[in-house]
Amino acid sequence: MHTKAKSAWMIAGAGALWGMIALFVRALNAAGLSALEIVFFRNLLAAAALGVVVAVRDRSALRIRLRDVWMFVGTGMVSIALFNLCYFYTLSRSSVAVAALLLYTSPVFVLLLSILLFRERLTAHRLAAIVITIAGCACITGVFSQAQAVAPMTVLCGLGSGLFYALYSIFGKFALRRYSAMTVSFYTFVFAALATAPFSAAHCTQKVLAQPHTLLVGLGLAVVCTVVPFLLYTGGLDGVPASQAAVLATVEPLVGSLLGVVVFGDPFTIWTVLGMALILSSILVLQLPPRRRPAVEEANG
């Protein structure tokens, strides 16, 4: 297979695996694990699994400088731990489609943070993407319909998952200047697990020991929906531009939504569909190249 096509399939495959996360999260919810306990469980097992991969491939990748720990506090404790917590809470209080689509407001948060922190320009199509995203979120909440709306707290947590996931791109920008993607991901999982351990490790351990099958579910969550898609996505980035990769990864909310309807019987209203379409459209709008100024205008400018 052509390298570019193979890379595209790898990234789309990663998105599809991420989209299956609800299967494991809801199984753990049914076993009595809270959102916080699932966050700890997922990141602990993901760190262990990825640690094995890193140790086999290149043990030197496990070495980091003490002065760089703040980067992994950012990617792990501030970003991934809080992103997981908000996302899993949203999954437990709404449909898979709503949770997945609110998470995919993250590119808009990345844009806003980049404008504030890195002085990126707010172009017309970027502003349009923000407006479209807000409209999409409004549709999903049910404010335009008489149907049962999603609770405001659930929407806020869903948007929080998008915000904290976006922060990974910001902290990761600094970490990736000094370390490989494998190193950054490993220590991100480690610090995310450490952040939630004091509040959940004891209760999580008791529940897993009382229900051994939850260990298999947790391993599935860590390997199938965390480590494997990470390796696929990272490998795929070598063959396609990052902007194209972001578009290909939008298969995640589509797979998640389909599973929600087929497996969990989630309701699907016309407003939910419209909101999904708007949010996905905003992601595509963000990938548009900046409009080039006419040559005459450039010469005069």
Residue 135 one-letter amino acid: A
The whole-number pLDDT of residue 207 equals 95
pLDDT at 287: 66
42 phi-psi bin (left φ>0, alpha ψ -120 to 50, beta other): alpha
pLDDT at 208 over 80: yes
pLDDT band at residue 299 under the 50/70/90 scheme: very low
Reading the block at residue 211, the tokens are 């229900």
Residue 67 has pLDDT above 60, yes or no: yes
Rounded to the nearest 5°, which phi and psi values hold at 147? -70, 165
The reported pLDDT for the residue numbered 147 is: 57
189-215: average pLDDT: 94
Position 37 pLDDT exceeds 90: yes
pLDDT-derived band at 277 (thresholds 50, 70, 90) equals confident
Going by C-alpha positions, the residue among 173, 221, 172, 230 that lies closest to residue 54 is 230
Range picked from 3-17, 214-228, 238-252 for highest mean pLDDT: 214-228
Is residue 296 over pLDDT 60?
A: no
**How large a percentage of the chain has pLDDT more than 70?**
86
Q: Which residue has the tokens 């099958």?
A: 213
Q: What pLDDT score does 120 carry?
A: 73
One-letter amino acid at 4 equals K
The Cα-based distances of 210 to 32, 41, 45, 204, 206 in angstroms read 11, 15, 18, 10, 6
| pLDDT higher than threshold 80 for residue 118 | no
Above 90 in pLDDT, residue 239? no
User: How far is residue 191's CA from residue 189's CA, in Å, rounded to a whole number?
Assistant: 6
Give the distance, in angstroms, between the CA of residue 60 and the centroid of all CA atoms in the same chain: 28
CB-side neighbour CA atoms (13 Å) of 253: 26
CA distance 147 to 118: 41
Confidence of residue 223 (pLDDT cuts 50, 70, 90): very high
pLDDT: which is higher, 30 or 147: 30
User: Alpha-carbon Rg of the chain, whole angstroms?
Assistant: 20
Q: Where residue 284 falls among pLDDT bands split at 50, 70, 90?
A: confident
Contacts of 125 (CB under 8 A, 6+ apart): 285, 286, 288, 290, 291
**E strands, 74-169, in order:** none
The DSSP element (H or E) to which 83 belongs, if any, is: helix 81-93
